[in-house]
Structure 1
């Protein structure tokens, strides 16, 4: 309804323009050609819109009649004016914008006549504004399968279920994609193998829509030669000979060798510097000026040459391969300091272990004298105790008997007679 009144106004103004133009040229003696009639449109495969019209009436036989037509999107000319003798025109359109088509009659070889007035028709988009999918991006991987991704429209509800259809010339009926991707972006992937002809690859039409009438459909037409992405090469051999690295890899897909450009990346483990090398057509390379005592990491990726395809997509990098030896003197210094320390600690542990082992193998022999003394000492203690005292003295410690020495002391005889009558003194005993 929002496009009805502007379209109606244009349809009312068009006859007035025709009358004014006819009257103006009649004054100067030039004839205005009659326009074509019965202009209408119909939908073809997916994104194709076809306009047809009836021929203009009353055209003289001397007129080289052609129909000039052009398409305007949202009222803006698209620089696609075309002249034809056919009574139809077919083009790919986006479906989510207003399409304005117009056509008129022209005599290309007659200077006495003027082109007719434009005959116009409008095709308004279906569904609500802001519900169509946006940011459609497609990539054709290795000429085998295609992945298309998109974002939901800002006005689309969370329950919107977008469905992707695709078609190209020679496919017959359009096909529906089955393998959908859900996440931050919506997407779908499908197998796509298009035979290459002398005329090149046909345009691929992508339609994304929902079953609901409220969701606006959107079409995107892709030139497959501009969205091709080759697979990653596979490194099959890498070696170092003197100061050169020799590298070989396997080309991706079924592309002709002359259609591929390779980029080899060499990374120095010491300085982390990256050296890119470009290689054309060949699947091997020799990288010179390398140091023998350095580890290098190499990887390869591929891109298609513009002589074969218009795509600028680089492939993913191949698996990284390392080559070379890294001589780090810090390691040797640490090793020199660590080895003696380790040997010293091991020696101390070994000595302690051997000492304990010697004690176990060669135990200490007791002194026999101490054993005999201990044995006989116990027997003497047993004899010193009386038979009647065994019960009383069983818990008493043995007491060693003290032996005293006796000395006999005799007084000398007196020489005087007066001493003879005296009594002889008793014996004196002195303990020593």
Structure 2
């Protein structure tokens, strides 16, 4: 029957080797219609059925996920047929060149190095990761640099976009140390076997204000110096306190140091000494 074949068949390769294929159920397909996907990368190969279907609320197959897909310069052949209450329905066939449906990963290792003296920042990155492209010149990049708004300093949000960068670095010459920036990059084809659609954006990298190269280097140098100075000061203070406590004598507590017996003996000695002194004085008078 017309209208029972699937519609809007789309496949996308992402994260280098994963592929998703999805479709819509035919316009006249009933709830008990079921679809099955088969594919191959050469006319000499046999069709392989989907092993991991995506289903809708009615349990009908509306997509398939694949792993370990090798792109290279391959053309894939897809076939979707089905049945309804034991009766065959219209089939669907499509031929796809795999590299054209790849969603490129973000450019890798985005870094920013700013120098206050030159009022410029060098932004560097590496090509996106793919399984079939080894030539770094096969990519063209789009870079977007935004500065964040700051009402306190009357700074408005602005952005700058460059879409035809073929190198793996870019010099941002409008840098101001008073502003806070973010940069993101994505890639596309540059006359090679690469998808002409733009790939995924890289995670935004922020820079500016106090994150200058000179300031960062100075901070990294100052932190260990301050820590070492603090440790040296504490050690010196500890040694000084130990020496001071050893030199200063501790006060004697007469009531604590003498026992009851010692106290009586000491009292008798004092009486005898007093009497002796009195006798000596009398004899000298006589």
Normalised to the residue count of structure 1, the TM-score between the two structures is 0.41
Residue 269 of structure 1: aligned partner = 148
Change in CA separation of 1:310 and 1:299 when aligned onto 2, cut-off 3 Å: closer
Instruction: Name the count of aligned residue pairs.
Output: 194
Which of 243, 247, 251 matches 2:127? 251
Residue 200 of structure 2: aligned partner = 316
Assess if the C-alpha contact under 8 Å between 1:229 and 1:303 holds in 2: no
Q: Residue 179 of structure 1: CA displacement? A: 2.4
CA–CA distance in structure 2, aligned partners of residues 172 and 288 of structure 1: 55
The one of the two structures with greater contact order (alpha-carbon pairs below 8 A, sep at least 6) is: 2
Q: Which has the larger radius of gyration?
A: 1
SS at match of 2:10: strand
Assess if the C-alpha contact under 8 Å between 1:249 and 1:283 holds in 2: yes
SS at match of 1:158: coil
SS at match of 1:226: helix
Spell out the pairing of 1:197-236 with structure 2 (5 A cutoff).
201-212=73-84, 213-236=87-110
Residue 6 of structure 2: aligned partner = 133
Q: Residue 292 of structure 1: CA displacement? A: 1.4
Assess if the C-alpha contact under 8 Å between 2:74 and 2:99 holds in 1: no
Residue 51 of structure 2: aligned partner = 178
SS at match of 2:40: strand
CA–CA distance in structure 1, aligned partners of residues 76 and 183 of structure 2: 37
1:149 and 2:22 matched = yes
Which one has a larger percent helix, Structure 1 or Structure 2? 2
Assess if the C-alpha contact under 8 Å between 2:19 and 2:66 holds in 1: yes
1:166 and 2:39 matched = yes
CA–CA distance in structure 2, aligned partners of residues 235 and 155 of structure 1: 50
Change in CA separation of 1:219 and 1:246 when aligned onto 2, cut-off 3 Å: same
Change in CA separation of 1:321 and 1:278 when aligned onto 2, cut-off 3 Å: same
CA–CA distance in structure 2, aligned partners of residues 142 and 283 of structure 1: 21
Q: Residue 221 of structure 1: CA displacement? A: 1.1
CA–CA distance in structure 2, aligned partners of residues 319 and 147 of structure 1: 23
Q: CA RMSD in A?
A: 2.6
